[in-house]
Structure 1
């Protein structure tokens, strides 16, 4: 073994005081950087899921927010507070990150001014609601189910029709033809109906 290689070997076997000091300092700096990054990331995710952020950065949200207090998902009998993110952002990490990424198109439309007036918003509302409904059908109303558990419903306390539909949904295969998920019956809990005939149901 060369003298040079032997020197490196001795350094690892018997490091000097300065070398030993660098290991805990480096580890501590790495830990602090990781902790700050994690906290910062969570703060950003939390803040970008707030109603205030949604309304400022997602153009259509401004007009949707104006009508929200008139609907049952704002004035709840139980006093439970429902926010934009409860219905439009997944709780699970990967779907949540995907929603954050795909939401950038809404920011782009806002910058372009596609929905910056009530008239533009109403003209495009049917397209937007159909897109949201299709997404919710595709994930079996995942965000609805984060609060509403069909398996824990007391059907005896529901109206007969509601109980029948909820039982049917619980017992059905989501991949079966004609399967109906939450959004198929509960479309206007937070927003007005489109002023067109294209989304009538």
Structure 2
């Protein structure tokens, strides 16, 4: 009677193994199975066993499969780490872009504020200069009006003084003329008329020197 080899994962038919199976190599090959396989491989085999087992392919040892699985896990971990690093780099890039955008927005806001502040300061200075010019213009206008009023007042005062002086001068002239006339009248009244001789009166023409001869006897009386 020939002893057949123990059915294992490595000598199972291809149809019995499925690519979609969820059982891992570590679950199929436990440490006890590995020890048992090693003992069987080290035990002397009969020629019949050698003949039966010679056509079968030599499977990879469980240690190599474990190494392959570990390498796959390492590759998966590396891939996850790489994806995580890429995500971190992307987040850092996004954060950097957001920071630059915020800084640019803040810089533009500060520039707008400085520009508006500068414009407001310039507008305030222009308003102050305008008010200063207007105040100075009003002061000059007020001073000019005051000088003009003072000049007109001085002219009125001078005209009034001149008018008073002229009236006083006229009054004095009238007074002097009146006094002279009164003096002349008094002198005329106090003056004694000169009488002419009768012999001389007959040679005078009628009406001559009437004022002097009104008090004399008419000439016809002696004709």
For the superposition of Structure 1 and Structure 2, which TM-score range results when normalised by the shorter chain?
A: under 0.3
Question: TM-score scaled by structure 2?
Answer: 0.25
Q: Which has the higher contact order (CA 8 A, sep 6+)?
A: 1
Structure number, greater radius of gyration: 2
